[in-house]
């Protein structure tokens, strides 16, 4: 119940446009830039034997860092140019899959310029876009099962999780960026709280917020320091 209340409070702060102020107050006690704490917890959770799924890899900022820590990395991004940039780095233990994950297979449009690419938003008129493939994480049996998953899909995070419930059964640590503004634009302001409940049902025994926009969920305890 406490976690759900905290999740709801973050949504209210976002709605009232007080997130930046709350973050500044928090930084009086925690040094570092935005995402530093999340990044530290994420990278500290990876073990040499892990297979990491980087869902919403973009151009591979985290993918490259994962490749130096884990045995294998599967990077998912539906944009052709993003996959090309990842593949150009010749990381031997990285496989880039040019699809978007969700809860229904098919195709959806994605805007290529402007804000970060998202299938959760319809492309703006006059902006370049392309149709991309959409698949469920549970429908990809040929890929190595993940032990750690990072999800950053610009407002489509709840669909991604719904589409990989079975796959998440083998996952030790899950990290999700919550895009409150896009979720609210979609009319699903309660999605973050619902996602927390869903992760609990899936057996994640420890769920925390390393910062104002990221959920970290673990089986068997949390490595997050106080």
Q: What DSSP string runs through 44-91?
A: HT--TT-EEEEET-TTTHHHHHHHTTSSEEEEE---HHHHHHHHTT--
pLDDT in single tens digits along all 226 residues of the chain: 544 454 455 555 555 555 454 444 444 444 445 578 999 999 999 999 999 999 999 999 999 999 999 999 999 999 999 999 999 999 999 999 999 999 999 999 888 766 567 788 777 777 788 899 999 999 999 999 999 999 999 899 999 999 999 999 999 999 999 999 999 988 998 999 999 999 999 999 999 999 999 999 999 765 665 5
Q: Does 27 reside within a domain?
A: yes
Instruction: Quote the pLDDT of residue 26.
Output: 42
Q: Does 224 reside within a domain?
A: no
Instruction: Tell me how far apart the alpha carbons of residues 72 and 148 are, in angstroms, rounded to a whole number.
Output: 11
Residue 22 sits in a domain of what CATH number? 3.40.50.150
**Beta-bridge partners for 107:** 133
- Asked if 140 and 188 touch (Cβ cutoff 8 Å), the reply is no
Instruction: Quote the pLDDT of residue 96.
Output: 97
Q: Tell me the whole-structure pTM to 2 decimals.
A: 0.84
| Structural domain of 39 | 2-218
Closest CA to 137 of 110, 112, 174, 109: 174
Q: What is the DSSP letter of 147?
A: S
Tokens 């059964």 identify what position? 169
Q: Does 103 reside within a domain?
A: yes
How many separate domains does the chain show? Answer: 1
């Amino acid at each position: 119940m406490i976690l759900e209340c905290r999740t709801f409070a973050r949504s209210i702060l976002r709605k009232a446009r007080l997130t930046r102020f709350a973050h500044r107050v928090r930084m009086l006690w925690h040094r570092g830039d935005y995402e530093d704490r999340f990044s530290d917890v994420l990278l500290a959770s990876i073990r040499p034997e892990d297979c990491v799924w980087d869902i919403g890899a973009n151009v591979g900022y985290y993918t490259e860092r994962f490749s130096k820590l884990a045995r294998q990395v599967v990077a998912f991004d539906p944009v052709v140019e993003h996959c090309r940039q990842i593949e150009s780095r010749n990381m031997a233990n990285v496989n880039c899959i040019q699809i978007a994950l969700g809860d229904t297979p098919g195709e959806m449009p994605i805007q290529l310029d402007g804000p970060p690419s998202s299938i959760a938003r319809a492309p703006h008129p006059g902006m370049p876009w392309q149709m991309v493939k959409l698949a469920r994480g549970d429908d990809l049996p040929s890929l190595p099962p993940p032990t750690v998953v990072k999800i950053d899909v610009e407002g489509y995070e709840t669909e991604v999780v719904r589409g990989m419930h079975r796959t998440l059964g083998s996952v030790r640590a899950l990290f999700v960026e919550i895009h409150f503004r896009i979720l609210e634009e979609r009319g699903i302001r309660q999605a973050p709280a619902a996602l927390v409940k869903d992760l609990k049902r899936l057996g994640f025994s420890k769920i925390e917020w390393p910062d104002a926009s990221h959920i970290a969920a673990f089986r068997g305890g949390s490595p997050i320091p106080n």
